[in-house]
Amino acid sequence: MTSSEELHKRRGAAVARGVGSTISSYVDHAGGGTITDVEGRQWIDFAAGIAVANVGNSARRVVEAVKAQVERFTHTCFMVAPYESYVAVCEQLNAITPGDFEKRSALFNSGAEAVENAVKIARHATGRPAVVVFDHAYHGRTNLTMALTAKNMPYKHRFGPFAGEIYRVPMSYPLRDGGLSGAEAAARAIEMVEKQVGAENVAALLIEPIQGEGGFVVPAAGFLPALREWATAAGVVFVADEIQTGFCRTGQWFACEHEEVVPDLITLAKGIAGGLPLAAVTGRAELMDAVHVGGLGGTYGGNPIACAAALASIETMRELELTCAAQRIETVMAARLRTIAERDPRIAEVRGRGAMLAVELVQPGTLVPDPAATAAISAACHAAGLLTLTCGTYGNVLRFLPPLVISDDELARGLDILDAAFG
């Protein structure tokens, strides 16, 4: 088999430099809680392909469903010749997302595409132009979603000009906003919208219930419910971006459920289809159905193989009770992270929910971010056989997103490596 080193050389000559990778080893196979490279080296997987492989790589049901679908047909385009699995995925999404009202769904390929479509739907349904987003937000890399994303490097730098009518307001970030309550942080954001944009001009308020790329920021209790209440009163569509938080990741099917917040629209992707590319917008029937026939779509959106995988993934989440699995991971991992934090003053905070946990690193005794220490600890993990990711506006958050099917033993071994990497 070709070595990682040779592959890396070929890559340099063939793949655009702008596409990065966390590790320079090349994957041979992956499953459960591990990834194995072409040299037979194994990593404990605390990344899950950025919160995608919730049911694990090559989950049994997913493999079977995909194989069966590939044999029947691979693509007809739902907009040309429709098929049952697209309808069945929409039925499932309408049933499992929060809100007991009538819902509709539409399927797309990527998270960014789902977010773009949620904005299109909200604008069309309300006849208003503005979209409110938050500091530290991440919503994608396409032109509209770059405008919605907060961080310049690496996502936006020299890629403008960006789409208009996007307004950014402060997030609730308990570690860094001087201890504002959720209600106070919401009032601050709402006042800014009312004074600078005007509620009657706002189509949508778009928010990740727990921010992903922005640093696993969990807003203070009450923040999301206060925004939800304001949006209802102002006729603003509340859009929850659950692309990273969805599908059992946080110990509930969707992160909004932790505070019983019911969005009008939800954007979904990542964990939805066990690694196959699929995304969705799910929400209130009257908003979704406001759009004229033919107004939503795309060649591959709701591809039949991805739909088969999604149905199998959702079934697997139910069968293996992956919400409970995420809660169990939290119990074990959070305890261990707190133990490390007790002895290491660089850890300012341990935070997150379920199997979406992180530590934020600072210079001891301050809130000054320490991205260098974060990168060094992450690199030490990689060298010792644990795949970790970093995130955060300041690059100083080490985040952990294991597949929800990781075994107790793999989880413990991963945490041992992490513990040692902190020194």
> Rounded to an integer, what distance in angstroms lies between the CA atom of residue 419 and that of residue 373?
14
Residues touching ligand PLZ, count (CB under 6 A): 16
Give Cα separations from 362 to 141, 206, 347, 350, 398 (angstroms). 28, 29, 6, 12, 11
Q: Determine, following the binding rule CB under 6 A, whether residue 141 of this chain makes contact with ligand PLZ.
A: yes
Considering only residues 37, 177, 208, 330, which one is a binding residue for ligand PLZ as defined by CB under 6 A? Answer: 208
| 161 preceded by a cis bond (ω within 30 of 0) | yes
Nearer to ligand PLZ, 245 or 346 (CB): 245
Show the site string, 263-282: x = touches ligand PLZ by CB under 6 A, - = not. ------x-------------
Q: What are phi and psi of 164, to 5 degrees?
A: -95, 180
Quick one: which H or E segment has residue 48? helix 48-51
Considering only residues 140, 182, 246, 302, which one is a binding residue for ligand PLZ as defined by CB under 6 A? Answer: 140
| Binding window for ligand PLZ (CB under 6 A); candidates: 83-91, 192-200, 205-213, 377-385 | 205-213
Q: How many CA atoms lie within 13 A of 115 on its CB side?
A: 29
Dihedral (CA of 185, 118, 116, 305) sign: positive
| Binding window for ligand PLZ (CB under 6 A); candidates: 32-40, 161-169, 207-215, 387-395 | 207-215
Nearer to ligand PLZ, 32 or 111 (CB): 111
Q: Would residue 288 be called left, alpha or beta, if left means φ above 0 and alpha means ψ between -120 and 50 degrees? A: alpha
> Rounded to an integer, what distance in angstroms lies between the CA atom of residue 112 and that of residue 146?
9
Considering only residues 65, 197, 236, 243, which one is a binding residue for ligand PLZ as defined by CB under 6 A? Answer: 243
Nearer to ligand PLZ, 273 or 308 (CB): 273
| Binding window for ligand PLZ (CB under 6 A); candidates: 78-86, 168-176, 208-216, 300-308 | 208-216
| Binding window for ligand PLZ (CB under 6 A); candidates: 135-143, 257-265, 293-301, 320-328 | 135-143
Q: Determine, following the binding rule CB under 6 A, whether residue 136 of this chain makes contact with ligand PLZ.
A: no
Considering only residues 4, 110, 172, 390, which one is a binding residue for ligand PLZ as defined by CB under 6 A? Answer: 110
Q: Determine, following the binding rule CB under 6 A, whether residue 306 of this chain makes contact with ligand PLZ.
A: no
Nearer to ligand PLZ, 140 or 392 (CB): 140
| Binding window for ligand PLZ (CB under 6 A); candidates: 96-104, 117-125, 138-146, 344-352 | 138-146
Strand partners, 265: 239, 283
253, burial (CB in 10 Å: exposed 0-12, middle 13-18, buried 19+): buried
Q: Determine, following the binding rule CB under 6 A, whether residue 50 of this chain makes contact with ligand PLZ.
A: yes
Q: Determine, following the binding rule CB under 6 A, whether residue 213 of this chain makes contact with ligand PLZ.
A: yes
Confirm if 396 and 371 have CB atoms less than 8 A apart.
Answer: yes
- Where do we find the tokens 């010792």? 384
- Which residues neighbour 223 within 8 Å (Cβ) at sequence distance 6 or greater? 172, 182, 183, 185, 186
Q: Determine, following the binding rule CB under 6 A, whether residue 115 of this chain makes contact with ligand PLZ.
A: yes
Q: Which parts of this chain interact with ligand PLZ (CB under 6 A)?
A: 50, 110-112, 115, 138-141, 208, 212-213, 241, 243-244, 269
